[in-house]
Amino acid sequence: MRAFLLLIWLAGSLLWLSQDHLIRDGDEEGHVGAAELLRLHLDGGELLAFAHDAWRGDLGEYPPLYPALVGMWWWLGGSGQPGAVPIRAINLLGLMLAAWATATLAARLQNARGYEPHPVLHPENTAAITAMALVLTLPLANGLARHFMPEGLLVGWVALSVLTATWTSDRGDNPSLAVLGVVLGVGMLIKQTFAPLAILPVVVAGAGIRTGWPLVLFVASVVAGPWYLDHWADQSRYVSQSVQAGPLGSQWAHLQYYPAALLHLIGGPVAVAAALVGAIIAARKGSKGPRRGLAIALAWLLGVAILAFIPKKYPRLAAPVAPALALLAGLGAAHLRRREVLPVAAVVGGTAWLVWTSTTPPHTPSWVPTVDEKCPQRWIRPANPDDMGLSAIVDALSVAPEGALAVAHAPEIPCAVQTTHPWRNHLDPYLRRAGIERDVVDGTSRRAAVQATFLPEALAEPGDVAVPSLELVLRIETR
Protein backbone atom coordinates (compact mmCIF):
# COMPACT_ATOMS: atom_id res chain seq x y z
CA MET A 1 0.00 0.00 0.00
CA ARG A 2 2.81 2.39 0.85
CA ALA A 3 4.53 1.67 -2.46
CA PHE A 4 1.23 2.26 -4.28
CA LEU A 5 0.77 5.65 -2.60
CA LEU A 6 4.31 6.63 -3.48
CA LEU A 7 3.89 5.64 -7.14
CA ILE A 8 0.61 7.57 -7.48
CA TRP A 9 2.20 10.66 -5.90
CA LEU A 10 5.25 10.35 -8.15
CA ALA A 11 3.10 10.12 -11.28
CA GLY A 12 1.11 13.20 -10.26
CA SER A 13 4.26 15.16 -9.44
CA LEU A 14 5.90 14.31 -12.77
CA LEU A 15 2.70 15.33 -14.58
CA TRP A 16 2.77 18.71 -12.84
CA LEU A 17 6.44 19.21 -13.71
CA SER A 18 5.82 18.35 -17.35
CA GLN A 19 3.22 21.12 -17.60
CA ASP A 20 5.19 23.86 -15.82
CA HIS A 21 7.68 26.01 -17.73
CA LEU A 22 7.55 29.26 -15.77
CA ILE A 23 10.82 31.18 -15.40
CA ARG A 24 12.52 30.24 -12.14
CA ASP A 25 12.31 32.27 -8.94
CA GLY A 26 15.36 34.42 -8.19
CA ASP A 27 16.50 32.33 -5.21
CA GLU A 28 15.92 29.16 -7.19
CA GLU A 29 18.00 30.44 -10.09
CA GLY A 30 20.83 31.16 -7.67
CA HIS A 31 20.90 27.51 -6.57
CA VAL A 32 20.79 26.38 -10.20
CA GLY A 33 23.73 28.67 -11.00
CA ALA A 34 25.72 27.15 -8.14
CA ALA A 35 24.84 23.66 -9.39
CA GLU A 36 26.02 24.61 -12.87
CA LEU A 37 29.42 25.71 -11.53
CA LEU A 38 29.84 22.34 -9.85
CA ARG A 39 28.59 20.48 -12.90
CA LEU A 40 31.37 22.10 -14.96
CA HIS A 41 33.93 20.20 -12.86
CA LEU A 42 32.29 16.97 -13.94
CA ASP A 43 32.05 18.13 -17.55
CA GLY A 44 35.82 18.60 -17.48
CA GLY A 45 36.51 15.30 -15.75
CA GLU A 46 37.70 17.07 -12.58
CA LEU A 47 36.24 14.61 -10.09
CA LEU A 48 38.51 15.62 -7.21
CA ALA A 49 37.69 19.29 -7.69
CA PHE A 50 33.99 18.43 -7.69
CA ALA A 51 34.32 16.36 -4.50
CA HIS A 52 36.28 19.14 -2.78
CA ASP A 53 33.80 21.86 -3.72
CA ALA A 54 30.84 19.65 -2.80
CA TRP A 55 32.31 19.38 0.69
CA ARG A 56 34.17 22.63 1.28
CA GLY A 57 33.47 24.83 -1.74
CA ASP A 58 32.66 28.55 -1.65
CA LEU A 59 29.36 29.03 -3.47
CA GLY A 60 27.91 31.92 -1.47
CA GLU A 61 26.21 32.02 1.89
CA TYR A 62 24.85 28.47 1.77
CA PRO A 63 26.71 25.14 2.10
CA PRO A 64 27.49 23.40 -1.21
CA LEU A 65 26.00 19.93 -0.77
CA TYR A 66 22.57 20.58 -2.28
CA PRO A 67 23.85 22.28 -5.47
CA ALA A 68 26.46 19.51 -5.73
CA LEU A 69 23.67 16.90 -5.74
CA VAL A 70 21.77 18.85 -8.40
CA GLY A 71 24.94 19.42 -10.44
CA MET A 72 25.84 15.73 -10.41
CA TRP A 73 22.31 14.70 -11.44
CA TRP A 74 22.31 17.39 -14.13
CA TRP A 75 25.62 16.05 -15.47
CA LEU A 76 24.34 12.47 -15.46
CA GLY A 77 21.29 13.67 -17.37
CA GLY A 78 23.46 15.04 -20.17
CA SER A 79 23.39 18.74 -19.28
CA GLY A 80 20.84 20.79 -21.27
CA GLN A 81 18.14 22.88 -19.61
CA PRO A 82 17.75 22.31 -15.86
CA GLY A 83 14.01 22.80 -16.29
CA ALA A 84 13.73 19.50 -18.17
CA VAL A 85 11.56 17.09 -16.22
CA PRO A 86 14.25 14.38 -15.73
CA ILE A 87 16.62 16.99 -14.23
CA ARG A 88 14.04 18.82 -12.18
CA ALA A 89 12.74 15.55 -10.77
CA ILE A 90 15.82 15.25 -8.53
CA ASN A 91 14.04 17.58 -6.11
CA LEU A 92 11.26 15.04 -5.58
CA LEU A 93 13.68 12.85 -3.65
CA GLY A 94 13.46 15.12 -0.60
CA LEU A 95 9.74 14.54 -0.08
CA MET A 96 10.03 10.84 -0.95
CA LEU A 97 12.69 10.55 1.76
CA ALA A 98 10.46 12.42 4.23
CA ALA A 99 7.50 10.14 3.48
CA TRP A 100 9.56 6.96 3.89
CA ALA A 101 11.33 8.14 7.06
CA THR A 102 8.14 9.38 8.75
CA ALA A 103 6.18 6.24 7.86
CA THR A 104 9.03 4.04 9.08
CA LEU A 105 9.27 6.02 12.30
CA ALA A 106 5.51 5.78 12.90
CA ALA A 107 5.59 2.02 12.33
CA ARG A 108 8.63 1.58 14.58
CA LEU A 109 7.09 3.53 17.45
CA GLN A 110 3.70 1.89 17.10
CA ASN A 111 5.22 -1.58 17.01
CA ALA A 112 7.31 -1.03 20.13
CA ARG A 113 5.23 -3.64 22.01
CA GLY A 114 5.11 -6.01 19.05
CA TYR A 115 2.07 -7.19 17.07
CA GLU A 116 1.26 -10.33 15.18
CA PRO A 117 1.34 -9.79 11.39
CA HIS A 118 -2.03 -8.92 9.91
CA PRO A 119 -2.95 -7.81 6.38
CA VAL A 120 -2.69 -4.07 5.75
CA LEU A 121 -4.57 -2.66 8.73
CA HIS A 122 -2.74 -3.99 11.75
CA PRO A 123 -1.59 -1.05 13.96
CA GLU A 124 1.90 -0.82 12.50
CA ASN A 125 0.68 -0.56 8.90
CA THR A 126 -2.14 1.79 9.83
CA ALA A 127 0.32 4.21 11.42
CA ALA A 128 2.71 4.00 8.49
CA ILE A 129 0.07 4.40 5.76
CA THR A 130 -1.53 7.38 7.47
CA ALA A 131 1.82 9.08 8.04
CA MET A 132 3.00 8.50 4.47
CA ALA A 133 -0.26 9.75 2.94
CA LEU A 134 -0.15 12.97 4.91
CA VAL A 135 3.52 13.67 4.20
CA LEU A 136 3.01 13.12 0.48
CA THR A 137 0.15 15.65 0.45
CA LEU A 138 1.75 18.42 2.54
CA PRO A 139 1.18 21.54 0.39
CA LEU A 140 4.35 23.57 0.97
CA ALA A 141 6.61 20.51 0.98
CA ASN A 142 5.17 19.53 -2.40
CA GLY A 143 5.72 23.04 -3.71
CA LEU A 144 9.36 22.99 -2.62
CA ALA A 145 9.81 19.51 -4.12
CA ARG A 146 8.87 20.96 -7.50
CA HIS A 147 11.61 23.58 -7.39
CA PHE A 148 15.37 23.82 -6.95
CA MET A 149 15.35 24.78 -3.27
CA PRO A 150 17.44 23.16 -0.49
CA GLU A 151 14.52 23.34 1.93
CA GLY A 152 12.84 20.59 -0.11
CA LEU A 153 15.72 18.24 0.64
CA LEU A 154 15.79 19.50 4.23
CA VAL A 155 12.20 18.29 4.72
CA GLY A 156 13.42 14.77 4.09
CA TRP A 157 16.73 15.06 5.91
CA VAL A 158 15.24 16.33 9.16
CA ALA A 159 12.79 13.40 9.09
CA LEU A 160 15.67 11.01 8.39
CA SER A 161 17.64 12.50 11.30
CA VAL A 162 14.77 11.94 13.73
CA LEU A 163 14.35 8.36 12.53
CA THR A 164 18.10 7.73 12.81
CA ALA A 165 18.19 9.19 16.34
CA THR A 166 15.36 6.85 17.37
CA TRP A 167 17.16 3.84 15.88
CA THR A 168 20.46 4.87 17.47
CA SER A 169 18.83 5.35 20.86
CA ASP A 170 17.44 1.81 20.70
CA ARG A 171 20.75 0.26 19.64
CA GLY A 172 23.28 2.37 21.52
CA ASP A 173 26.39 0.86 19.92
CA ASN A 174 29.27 2.83 18.40
CA PRO A 175 28.45 2.09 14.73
CA SER A 176 24.93 3.46 15.14
CA LEU A 177 26.29 6.53 16.96
CA ALA A 178 28.68 7.14 14.06
CA VAL A 179 25.82 6.81 11.55
CA LEU A 180 23.80 9.42 13.44
CA GLY A 181 26.82 11.72 13.44
CA VAL A 182 27.18 11.39 9.68
CA VAL A 183 23.48 12.09 9.14
CA LEU A 184 23.62 15.21 11.32
CA GLY A 185 26.80 16.42 9.62
CA VAL A 186 25.28 16.01 6.18
CA GLY A 187 22.19 17.91 7.36
CA MET A 188 24.40 20.85 8.34
CA LEU A 189 25.90 20.81 4.84
CA ILE A 190 22.46 21.08 3.24
CA LYS A 191 21.51 24.32 4.97
CA GLN A 192 22.22 26.10 8.24
CA THR A 193 18.57 25.99 9.33
CA PHE A 194 18.94 22.24 9.78
CA ALA A 195 20.32 22.90 13.29
CA PRO A 196 17.36 24.79 14.84
CA LEU A 197 14.86 22.46 13.18
CA ALA A 198 16.51 19.14 14.06
CA ILE A 199 18.07 19.75 17.46
CA LEU A 200 14.98 19.30 19.65
CA PRO A 201 13.41 16.21 18.00
CA VAL A 202 16.82 14.54 17.63
CA VAL A 203 17.62 15.06 21.31
CA VAL A 204 14.20 13.75 22.38
CA ALA A 205 14.31 10.81 19.95
CA GLY A 206 17.86 10.02 21.09
CA ALA A 207 17.13 10.20 24.80
CA GLY A 208 18.60 6.74 25.31
CA ILE A 209 21.98 7.69 23.84
CA ARG A 210 23.15 9.33 27.09
CA THR A 211 26.97 9.09 27.13
CA GLY A 212 27.18 8.50 23.37
CA TRP A 213 26.58 12.11 22.38
CA PRO A 214 30.29 13.11 22.32
CA LEU A 215 30.93 10.52 19.61
CA VAL A 216 27.87 11.68 17.64
CA LEU A 217 29.00 15.31 17.79
CA PHE A 218 32.60 14.42 16.93
CA VAL A 219 31.57 12.58 13.76
CA ALA A 220 29.15 15.38 12.80
CA SER A 221 31.96 17.91 13.28
CA VAL A 222 34.30 15.90 11.06
CA VAL A 223 31.67 15.89 8.31
CA ALA A 224 30.46 19.50 8.47
CA GLY A 225 33.16 21.27 10.48
CA PRO A 226 35.64 21.96 7.64
CA TRP A 227 33.13 23.98 5.63
CA TYR A 228 32.01 26.04 8.61
CA LEU A 229 35.60 26.68 9.69
CA ASP A 230 36.55 27.79 6.17
CA HIS A 231 33.56 30.14 6.04
CA TRP A 232 33.42 31.25 9.66
CA ALA A 233 33.62 34.99 8.95
CA ASP A 234 31.01 34.86 6.18
CA GLN A 235 28.68 32.73 8.30
CA SER A 236 29.03 35.07 11.28
CA ARG A 237 27.93 37.97 9.07
CA TYR A 238 25.10 35.90 7.60
CA VAL A 239 23.77 34.93 11.04
CA SER A 240 24.15 38.49 12.32
CA GLN A 241 22.23 39.91 9.36
CA SER A 242 19.46 37.35 9.81
CA VAL A 243 19.13 38.05 13.53
CA GLN A 244 19.29 41.82 13.16
CA ALA A 245 16.87 42.12 10.25
CA GLY A 246 14.35 44.73 11.26
CA PRO A 247 10.83 43.34 11.81
CA LEU A 248 8.06 45.15 9.96
CA GLY A 249 5.17 43.84 12.05
CA SER A 250 4.56 43.82 15.77
CA GLN A 251 6.20 41.25 18.01
CA TRP A 252 2.79 39.63 18.43
CA ALA A 253 2.47 39.31 14.64
CA HIS A 254 5.87 37.61 14.51
CA LEU A 255 4.86 35.12 17.20
CA GLN A 256 1.61 34.35 15.37
CA TYR A 257 3.18 34.01 11.94
CA TYR A 258 4.44 30.41 11.85
CA PRO A 259 1.46 28.88 13.73
CA ALA A 260 -0.86 30.60 11.24
CA ALA A 261 1.31 29.51 8.31
CA LEU A 262 1.32 25.96 9.72
CA LEU A 263 -2.45 25.80 9.39
CA HIS A 264 -2.62 27.57 6.04
CA LEU A 265 0.38 26.42 4.03
CA ILE A 266 3.09 24.51 5.88
CA GLY A 267 0.83 21.70 7.03
CA GLY A 268 -2.58 22.63 5.70
CA PRO A 269 -5.92 22.12 7.47
CA VAL A 270 -6.15 18.39 6.70
CA ALA A 271 -2.77 17.51 8.23
CA VAL A 272 -3.30 19.82 11.22
CA ALA A 273 -6.75 18.39 11.98
CA ALA A 274 -5.48 14.81 11.61
CA ALA A 275 -2.54 15.60 13.88
CA LEU A 276 -4.78 17.01 16.60
CA VAL A 277 -6.98 13.92 16.51
CA GLY A 278 -3.97 11.65 16.48
CA ALA A 279 -2.27 13.45 19.37
CA ILE A 280 -5.36 13.18 21.58
CA ILE A 281 -5.82 9.48 20.82
CA ALA A 282 -2.13 8.66 21.28
CA ALA A 283 -2.03 10.53 24.60
CA ARG A 284 -5.12 8.74 25.92
CA LYS A 285 -4.74 5.22 24.56
CA GLY A 286 -1.19 4.91 23.39
CA SER A 287 1.36 2.54 24.90
CA LYS A 288 5.00 3.34 25.53
CA GLY A 289 5.92 3.60 21.83
CA PRO A 290 3.16 6.02 20.77
CA ARG A 291 3.72 8.16 23.87
CA ARG A 292 7.38 8.37 22.96
CA GLY A 293 6.31 9.36 19.46
CA LEU A 294 4.07 12.04 20.91
CA ALA A 295 7.05 13.58 22.72
CA ILE A 296 9.19 13.41 19.58
CA ALA A 297 6.52 15.02 17.40
CA LEU A 298 5.89 17.86 19.85
CA ALA A 299 9.62 18.57 20.10
CA TRP A 300 9.74 18.50 16.29
CA LEU A 301 6.93 21.05 16.04
CA LEU A 302 8.71 23.34 18.52
CA GLY A 303 11.07 24.19 15.67
CA VAL A 304 8.56 26.89 14.71
CA ALA A 305 9.05 28.46 18.15
CA ILE A 306 12.79 28.69 17.53
CA LEU A 307 12.24 30.19 14.08
CA ALA A 308 9.79 32.72 15.54
CA PHE A 309 12.69 34.55 17.17
CA ILE A 310 14.46 35.04 13.82
CA PRO A 311 13.14 38.31 12.31
CA LYS A 312 13.16 37.02 8.72
CA LYS A 313 9.96 35.07 8.15
CA TYR A 314 9.60 32.70 5.23
CA PRO A 315 7.15 29.76 5.33
CA ARG A 316 9.69 27.57 3.51
CA LEU A 317 12.05 27.77 6.49
CA ALA A 318 9.51 25.91 8.63
CA ALA A 319 8.52 23.31 6.02
CA PRO A 320 10.70 20.58 7.64
CA VAL A 321 8.54 20.55 10.80
CA ALA A 322 5.41 19.49 8.90
CA PRO A 323 6.12 15.71 8.85
CA ALA A 324 5.64 15.82 12.65
CA LEU A 325 1.93 16.38 11.96
CA ALA A 326 1.85 13.20 9.90
CA LEU A 327 3.63 11.29 12.67
CA LEU A 328 1.00 12.36 15.21
CA ALA A 329 -1.84 11.37 12.90
CA GLY A 330 -0.28 7.98 12.21
CA LEU A 331 0.23 7.14 15.87
CA GLY A 332 -3.36 8.02 16.69
CA ALA A 333 -4.81 6.19 13.69
CA ALA A 334 -3.48 2.86 14.92
CA HIS A 335 -5.67 3.06 18.04
CA LEU A 336 -9.01 3.78 16.41
CA ARG A 337 -11.61 1.04 16.64
CA ARG A 338 -12.14 1.32 12.90
CA ARG A 339 -8.57 1.57 11.73
CA GLU A 340 -9.45 2.33 8.14
CA VAL A 341 -11.08 5.69 9.00
CA LEU A 342 -8.02 7.90 9.43
CA PRO A 343 -5.90 6.40 6.63
CA VAL A 344 -8.77 6.81 4.15
CA ALA A 345 -9.48 10.34 5.41
CA ALA A 346 -5.77 11.19 5.14
CA VAL A 347 -5.53 9.93 1.56
CA VAL A 348 -8.79 11.50 0.36
CA GLY A 349 -8.60 14.77 2.31
CA GLY A 350 -4.87 15.29 1.81
CA THR A 351 -5.08 14.59 -1.91
CA ALA A 352 -8.03 16.92 -2.36
CA TRP A 353 -6.22 19.74 -0.54
CA LEU A 354 -3.02 19.21 -2.53
CA VAL A 355 -4.86 19.15 -5.86
CA TRP A 356 -6.76 22.30 -4.91
CA THR A 357 -3.63 24.21 -3.91
CA SER A 358 -1.84 22.97 -7.06
CA THR A 359 -4.57 24.10 -9.46
CA THR A 360 -5.92 27.38 -8.03
CA PRO A 361 -4.17 30.77 -7.83
CA PRO A 362 -2.28 31.12 -4.53
CA HIS A 363 -3.57 33.48 -1.88
CA THR A 364 -2.76 34.36 1.70
CA PRO A 365 -5.73 34.52 4.11
CA SER A 366 -6.25 37.69 6.11
CA TRP A 367 -5.64 35.81 9.38
CA VAL A 368 -2.01 35.11 8.44
CA PRO A 369 -0.05 38.11 9.84
CA THR A 370 1.94 40.30 7.47
CA VAL A 371 5.53 40.60 8.65
CA ASP A 372 7.22 41.42 5.35
CA GLU A 373 6.14 43.96 2.74
CA LYS A 374 8.00 42.19 -0.07
CA CYS A 375 6.11 40.08 -2.57
CA PRO A 376 5.74 36.56 -1.17
CA GLN A 377 7.35 33.64 -2.93
CA ARG A 378 4.68 31.27 -4.24
CA TRP A 379 5.95 27.71 -4.16
CA ILE A 380 2.61 25.89 -4.30
CA ARG A 381 0.69 27.11 -7.35
CA PRO A 382 -0.83 25.92 -10.64
CA ALA A 383 1.54 24.70 -13.33
CA ASN A 384 2.30 27.48 -15.81
CA PRO A 385 3.15 26.43 -19.40
CA ASP A 386 4.40 29.94 -20.33
CA ASP A 387 8.19 30.04 -20.70
CA MET A 388 7.90 33.64 -21.95
CA GLY A 389 9.29 32.91 -25.38
CA LEU A 390 12.68 31.50 -24.40
CA SER A 391 12.24 28.17 -26.19
CA ALA A 392 10.89 29.94 -29.28
CA ILE A 393 14.03 32.10 -29.44
CA VAL A 394 16.22 29.00 -29.18
CA ASP A 395 14.25 27.35 -31.99
CA ALA A 396 14.71 30.43 -34.20
CA LEU A 397 18.44 30.74 -33.50
CA SER A 398 19.03 27.04 -34.18
CA VAL A 399 18.11 27.55 -37.87
CA ALA A 400 19.08 31.21 -38.32
CA PRO A 401 22.23 32.33 -40.20
CA GLU A 402 25.29 33.50 -38.27
CA GLY A 403 24.87 36.78 -36.46
CA ALA A 404 23.67 38.40 -33.28
CA LEU A 405 20.34 38.25 -31.50
CA ALA A 406 18.69 41.59 -30.84
CA VAL A 407 16.04 41.93 -28.14
CA ALA A 408 13.77 44.96 -27.94
CA HIS A 409 11.49 45.95 -25.06
CA ALA A 410 12.52 43.06 -22.82
CA PRO A 411 10.01 43.10 -19.97
CA GLU A 412 10.28 43.15 -16.22
CA ILE A 413 8.51 40.22 -14.58
CA PRO A 414 6.01 41.40 -11.95
CA CYS A 415 6.15 39.58 -8.64
CA ALA A 416 2.50 38.65 -9.04
CA VAL A 417 3.74 36.29 -11.77
CA GLN A 418 7.12 35.31 -10.30
CA THR A 419 9.53 36.78 -7.77
CA THR A 420 12.54 36.84 -10.04
CA HIS A 421 14.95 38.92 -12.09
CA PRO A 422 13.98 40.79 -15.29
CA TRP A 423 13.40 38.65 -18.38
CA ARG A 424 16.69 39.74 -19.94
CA ASN A 425 18.66 38.20 -17.05
CA HIS A 426 17.25 34.77 -17.90
CA LEU A 427 18.11 34.89 -21.59
CA ASP A 428 21.90 34.44 -21.51
CA PRO A 429 21.85 31.39 -19.18
CA TYR A 430 19.07 29.81 -21.23
CA LEU A 431 21.03 30.21 -24.47
CA ARG A 432 24.22 28.92 -22.88
CA ARG A 433 22.50 25.83 -21.50
CA ALA A 434 20.95 25.21 -24.92
CA GLY A 435 24.46 25.22 -26.43
CA ILE A 436 23.89 28.41 -28.45
CA GLU A 437 26.67 31.00 -28.63
CA ARG A 438 25.47 34.30 -30.06
CA ASP A 439 26.11 37.92 -29.27
CA VAL A 440 23.01 39.47 -27.70
CA VAL A 441 22.31 43.17 -28.13
CA ASP A 442 19.55 45.20 -26.55
CA GLY A 443 17.17 47.13 -28.77
CA THR A 444 16.58 46.96 -32.50
CA SER A 445 19.37 46.11 -34.91
CA ARG A 446 19.19 45.72 -38.70
CA ARG A 447 22.45 43.76 -38.62
CA ALA A 448 21.18 41.11 -36.20
CA ALA A 449 20.45 37.65 -37.55
CA VAL A 450 17.37 37.41 -35.34
CA GLN A 451 15.27 40.27 -33.99
CA ALA A 452 13.03 39.52 -30.99
CA THR A 453 10.56 42.21 -29.92
CA PHE A 454 8.03 42.18 -27.10
CA LEU A 455 4.75 43.90 -27.97
CA PRO A 456 1.32 44.40 -26.35
CA GLU A 457 -1.25 41.72 -27.10
CA ALA A 458 -3.30 44.27 -29.05
CA LEU A 459 -0.53 44.43 -31.69
CA ALA A 460 -0.33 40.66 -32.15
CA GLU A 461 0.02 39.25 -35.67
CA PRO A 462 -0.15 35.67 -36.93
CA GLY A 463 3.05 33.88 -36.04
CA ASP A 464 3.75 35.88 -32.88
CA VAL A 465 4.50 33.88 -29.74
CA ALA A 466 1.96 34.46 -26.98
CA VAL A 467 3.31 35.41 -23.54
CA PRO A 468 0.03 35.30 -21.59
CA SER A 469 1.64 35.66 -18.15
CA LEU A 470 2.76 39.18 -19.10
CA GLU A 471 -0.11 40.00 -21.50
CA LEU A 472 2.44 40.39 -24.28
CA VAL A 473 3.45 38.71 -27.52
CA LEU A 474 6.95 38.03 -28.77
CA ARG A 475 7.65 38.72 -32.42
CA ILE A 476 10.67 36.86 -33.79
CA GLU A 477 12.05 37.94 -37.18
CA THR A 478 14.91 36.22 -38.96
CA ARG A 479 16.84 38.60 -41.18
Q: How far apart are CA 291 and CA 273, in angstroms?
A: 19
**What are the tens digits of pLDDT across the range 158-183?**
999 999 999 999 999 999 999 999 99
* Alpha-carbon Rg for the chain in angstroms: 24
* 126: DSSP letter: H
Mean pLDDT calculated for residue range 319-341:
89
**What are the tens digits of pLDDT across the range 257-313?**
999 999 999 999 999 999 999 999 988 876 788 899 999 999 999 999 999 888 888
Q: List the Cα angle 268/295/5 in 5-degree steps.
A: 45
Least confident segment among 195-204, 326-335, 370-379: 370-379
For residue 79, is it left (φ>0), alpha (ψ between -120 and 50) or beta?
left
* 314: DSSP letter: -
Residue 317 has pLDDT above 60, yes or no: yes
Q: Give the pLDDT score at 116.
A: 41
Q: How far apart are CA 408 and CA 410, in angstroms?
A: 6
* Nearest by Cα to 322 from 201, 239, 227: 201
Question: Is pLDDT larger for residue 61 or for residue 165?
Answer: 165
Task: Classify residue 306 by burial, with Cβ atoms within 10 Å: 0-12, 13-18, 19+.
Answer: middle
Q: Are 452 and 407 in contact (CB under 8 A)?
A: yes
| Dihedral sign computed on CA atoms, order 22, 27, 30, 31 | negative
* Nearest by Cα to 18 from 73, 71, 92: 92
Mean pLDDT in the chain? 92
Where residue 233 falls among pLDDT bands split at 50, 70, 90?
confident
